[in-house]
Amino acid sequence: MSLADTITDWRRGATIYQIYPRSFADSNGDGIGDLPGITAKLDYVAALNVDAIWLSPFFVSPMKDFGYDISDPIDVDPIFGRLADFDALLERAHALGLKVIIDQVYSHVSDRHPWFQESRASRCNPRADWFVWADPKPDGSPPNNWQSVFYGPSWTWDARRGQYFLHNFLPEQPDLNTTNPEVQAALLSIARFWLDRGVDGFRLDAVNFLMHDEALRDNPPELEDRPKTRPFDFQRHVHNQSNPRIAEFLERLQAVVDERPGRMTVAEVGGDHALGEMREFTRGPRRLNTAYGFDFLYAADVTAERIRAAMEGWSPEQADGGWPSWAFSNHDTPRAISRWWSETACEAAARLALLLLVSLRGNIFLYQGEELGLPQAEVPFERLRDAEAIANWPSTLGRDGARTPMPWSRTAPHAGFSTNAPWLPLDPRHAARAVDVQVDDPDSVLSFARRALALRRDRPELRQGGLRMLAAPAPLIAFERGDAGAPLTCVFNPGEAQAVDFPAPGRRVLLGVCGVEPGPAPGRLGPLQGYVAETL
């Protein structure tokens, strides 16, 4: 029996390890990670005590957005291997007891996709209405004021149609018209293809961009006083996303997924109204299993109030309450330990962040390298590859610094990721934290990560129990996990400078960080100390 099957429903309380294929392991020496490389490292992943892996896109793509611009959604891009390589990966993962979740991108495709090539050819072909086309204003300007996530207007002129097409991301990523029943049927066919192949679920990219206001009304300005680094930030996105009809399509999708019991769906939802949308997309038995929010992914710090707000949004007492998923880092955001703590605190902060993450109520996503304590990599401007990072440099840290190659060996060329120069440069600080440096060291961050993830696997209080915040002096974060009897007590001091008193008599530490050892719970927590304790 696999670890994922030891709980009645593995989809509640799962630990999912995110793999960014370009940067995980390169098997053929071209400097780009691939599917055979992932397969060769699955024993390492299984030893982490996780339940599943999530693979970011590996489909055929021109790679303008590194795989999120898909030109063939039912085949593997040659840089990653072949469809047979995916089948081999899936077989090996299942043999190790790992579920496999893959990305699905339904809001847009690549402009190289045959659907778009046909749609743009004329206004009267079979796929003419498969994308969002609109006439210009009388003065020739775009149909409305919508702005793309990356930069500039959401509209690009196409001379063949004599119209603008909508793209909420890059111009090379035209938006599908998912209100069209034929488009929906085509998307569901893609889902069936991968389900029939044996995948265990889908992470659904940019779900709240799936549909738009058909009247194409202008978005109102964003009047809240907050940092604005892109044109996108100057608007309230009430018409180009978050359409109420999205939930209807998600019910159709979930019905397809539910034809194969035990498969998972998780929605990625960002934006100003993410909590309400996530709850709507997961409300009741006919919608998605869980939603993946940005409560921590862009946060500048981690505090008790931030934890409280995130958890209260998913209170089990709320009617039709959905199930949340949490992540501190991923391929789109700077790594959490670099956002929340100083460089000198890196080692201790990595442990504290890991223990805090495994203690949260919901599913958790661990991004490759978090288990090694990798900080955000430094990538010089001339080596940046990501369009968003280049466009917004130096206002944001960008995404490339979180996407650099996984370090496997400290002394091997390119840290063992590849035999040739990788697509993004390796940060020397990462090589010093390589897997081979840590794997046999009982005091390493990697060894601690394994213990923390095993604790979550073995304790039902952490996987599926309730969460109740405890009163504690700042900057402490304190809560209980468990629904009845003797809940676990979880206490963390994310501060780097001060010790704080928190008496917890009658508690025995199961796992602690930064000098907190198993045994009686301490009454005072120093900087970056924390623990999970049971009642004696």
Tens-place pLDDT, residues 140-171: 999 999 999 988 999 999 999 999 999 999 99
pLDDT at 317: 63
Do the Cβ atoms of 49 and 453 come closer than 8 Å?
yes
In a domain, 438, yes or no: yes
The model's confidence at residue 320, banded by pLDDT at 50, 70 and 90, is low
Taking the chain, what is the end-to-end CA distance rounded to the nearest angstrom?
Answer: 31
State yes or no: pLDDT of 487 exceeds 80.
yes
In a domain, 448, yes or no: yes
State yes or no: pLDDT of 2 exceeds 70.
no
pLDDT of 452-480, one tens digit each?
Answer: 999 999 999 999 999 999 999 999 999 99
pLDDT at 344: 92
Residues 212 and 322 in one domain: yes
User: Number of folded domains in the chain?
Assistant: 2
Element (H, E) at 312: helix 304-312
Residues 418 and 470 in one domain: no
pLDDT at 4: 40
pLDDT at 5: 43
Residues 410 and 506 in one domain: no
Domain extent, residue 514, equals: 466-535
Final residue of a structural domain among 453, 477, 492 = 453
In a domain, 458, yes or no: no
The model's confidence at residue 10, banded by pLDDT at 50, 70 and 90, is very high
To the query of whether residue 214 is one of the catalytic residues in this protein, the response is no
In a domain, 124, yes or no: no
pLDDT of 190-222, one tens digit each?
Answer: 999 999 999 999 999 999 999 999 999 999 999
Catalytic residue among 69, 172, 205, 386: 205
CA separation for the pair 370, 349 (Å, rounded): 11
Read off the pLDDT of each residue in 381-406 and give the average, rounded to a whole number. Answer: 85
pLDDT at 7: 47
Worst-scoring range by mean pLDDT, 205-209, 226-230, 521-525?
A: 226-230
Residues 440 and 514 in one domain: no
The model's confidence at residue 439, banded by pLDDT at 50, 70 and 90, is very high
Torsion of CA 511, 516, 520, 526, to 10 degrees: -130
In a domain, 230, yes or no: yes
In a domain, 499, yes or no: yes
pLDDT at 228: 84
Residues 334 and 436 in one domain: yes
User: Of 198, 310, 217, nearest to 262 (Cα)?
Assistant: 198
Residues 420 and 528 in one domain: no
What is the percent of the chain with per-residue pLDDT over 90, rounded to a whole number? 87
Final residue of a structural domain among 421, 453, 485 = 453
To the query of whether residue 175 is one of the catalytic residues in this protein, the response is no
Catalytic residue among 259, 312, 343, 517: 259
The model's confidence at residue 302, banded by pLDDT at 50, 70 and 90, is very high
Residues 73 and 201 in one domain: yes
CA separation for the pair 107, 444 (Å, rounded): 41
State yes or no: pLDDT of 388 exceeds 80.
no
Residues 472 and 438 in one domain: no
Cβ atoms < 10 Å from Cβ of 183: 19
Residues 498 and 424 in one domain: no
Worst-scoring range by mean pLDDT, 230-239, 348-357, 412-421, 506-515?
A: 230-239
| 3-state DSSP assignment of residue 144 | coil
Place of tokens 């081979």: 436
CA separation for the pair 331, 403 (Å, rounded): 6
State yes or no: pLDDT of 395 exceeds 80.
no
| Token duo for residue 447 | 């060894």
Do the Cβ atoms of 516 and 508 come closer than 8 Å?
no
In a domain, 52, yes or no: yes
Final residue of a structural domain among 453, 476, 497 = 453
| Token duo for residue 489 | 């007590």
Residues 214 and 321 in one domain: yes
User: Of 158, 109, 160, nearest to 130 (Cα)?
Assistant: 109
In a domain, 391, yes or no: yes
Worst-scoring range by mean pLDDT, 91-105, 268-282, 371-385, 459-473?
A: 268-282
pLDDT of 19-60, one tens digit each?
Answer: 999 999 999 999 999 999 999 999 999 999 999 999 999 999
Instruction: For the chain, give the mean pLDDT.
Output: 94
Residues 493 and 430 in one domain: no
CA separation for the pair 465, 468 (Å, rounded): 10
CATH code where residue 529 lies: 2.60.40.1180
User: Of 181, 204, 353, 197, nearest to 266 (Cα)?
Assistant: 204
Residues 471 and 366 in one domain: no
